[in-house]
Chains A and B, each alone.
Chain A
Amino acid sequence: MSNDVVVSAQGLTKRFGSQLVFEDVSLDVHKSEVVAIIGPSGAGKSTFIRCINHLHPFDGGTLELLGHTLHGGLKSPSRAVLRDIRTRVGMVFQTFNLFPHLTVMENIILAPLDVKKVPREKAVALARELLDLVGLEHKKDMYPKRLSGGEQQRVALCRALAMEPEVMLFDEPTSMLDPELVGEVLSAIQRLAKQGMTMILVTHEMTFAKEVADTVVIMADHRVAEMGPARQVLESPQTERAQQFLRRVLEPVETMEELSAAAGQGGED
């Protein structure tokens, strides 16, 4: 593991019971690198990034991150290791998952106060600063229910960043949003990338992946179909499986017949 590799997965494998989720996924993520994972649903993308902060244990392979080495299998990492990893790896979810019984501000300062034991004034000051960056400072005392999806996701981003993580994971951060609200969330993520945050994101936004990501990983059929520099993978994919996936995603369907044909083939869930 060279010095600036922050996350290194070697031959990671995950099953739910007898069901294979993904196998033999290897990936090195360097400091400040942005990795986008794309691919058809059911390929194991979300589960893979959930294995990185151990929301799901994995069954085989090795995961090195932030100075820890985790091995797949029965023995789960100690609480101290888990805590260290999770306080240093932030995560943003598809469904936002803001805590509905807490205000925006309380959502953001909860973990800094209770987990990192940051003094309250410091936590509040950082929260205000983060909210200000995403244009939501004025909503700090509202409950999540009052916010739009895009606003909720930006608050969720602030909540993760308030822990001052070294790596950020994004699990389809815009796929639950109305189309008109996608942009505000993507631009917040893009700004973060420009500041040099190391991040791994699962996304369906191809243009965004091409613009923001350094590396693109295409996962299909429970394994990595192709990975490499973003433009190269997206514009001239080498493997047949990657070409097939990108053709389906990028080329508009012309007729209803093609649409139903595509729907018929796309049964990978």
Chain B
Amino acid sequence: MHTLWSAWVQYLPDYWQGVRVTLELTGASLLVAIVLGFLLALARLSTLRVLDFMATAYVEIVRAIPVLIILFICYYSLAQAGLKLSGPVAAVVGLGGFYATLYGEIFRGAIMGVDRGQKEAAAALGMPEGLVMRKIVLPQAFFAILPPATNQLSNLIKDTSLVFTIAVADLMFQANAASANNFLPLDMLLLAGVIYFLFYLILSKLLARWELNVQRRRG
């Protein structure tokens, strides 16, 4: 127990660095995933066939590829093709681009799930399509989006650990480096696991509380 604790304490500053990188990566990737995912959802719901086709092709292809391969493509393959991305940028592009397919499908499902009568009632009041989307459809879709979106967020946090393979100094990278240093992979990876678990715990508690609030307010 003593060695475990002292090993942990010794590397805490490194881990703290790693945690910051992991959270920054998660935040940036999530932003890309949400923005791109929303555009993908709108494109797939569009009456323009070309948009629908391109978005569908992107979603079906990208989500079928393992995340690790996508990260390698963004870092190594693009560099070979002449587009050299730094590790963190490649990580955000890869993770964001991959999770956009998952978020896009969540958004699309939630938007389609809003009762048709809602759109009709809004249209009958003379509201133009954009306004119907903003004031009627999206606010209602939001409540259907939140639980699956949070699930995917906890997957995203865990998947950021893959970026240590493309030279990004995230939490997993630090844990790996530390265990290579002190030959205590059990202790060092356990600490990383505990931290990832805490992320998950905090996230799910926040979501549960938030959902309860919403339910209370709307009776």
Contacts and interface: CB of A to CB of B under 8 A. Distances in A.
Interface stretch (A19-27, A95-103, A119-127, A215-223): A95-103
Given A114-B127, A143-B219, 19 more contacts: A83-B128, A89-B124, A90-B124, A93-B117, A93-B124, A97-B115, A99-B122, A99-B136, A100-B140, A100-B218, A101-B143, A110-B125, A111-B126, A111-B127, A114-B131, A115-B126, A145-B218, A145-B219, A159-B125
Q: How large is the interface on B (under 10, 10 to 19, 20 to 34, 35 or more residues)?
A: 20 to 34
A97 B117 contact: yes
Interface of A: 50, 53, 55, 79, 82-83, 86-87, 89-91, 93, 95, 97-101, 110-111, 114-116, 142-143, 145-146, 156, 159-160, 163
B126 A95 contact: no
A89 B122 CA distance: 13
Contacts of A101: 139-140, 143, 218
A222 B120 CA distance: 23
Given A93-B121, A97-B120, A110 B135 contact: yes
Contact of B128 (A55, A79, A99, A160): A79
A53 B121 CA distance: 11
B127 A115 contact: yes
B126 to A, nearest CB: 4
A163 B122 CA distance: 12
Nearest to B121: A97
Nearest to B125: A111
Interface in B133-190: 135-136, 139-140, 143
Contact of B124 (A55, A142, A145, A146): A55
A93 to B, nearest CB: 6
9 A-B pairs with the lowest CB-CB distances in the bound complex, closest first: A97-B121, A111-B125, A87-B126, A86-B126, A91-B124, A97-B117, A115-B126, A101-B139, A146-B219
Given A99-B136, A100-B218, A143-B219, A163 B121 contact: no
A142 B125 CA distance: 21
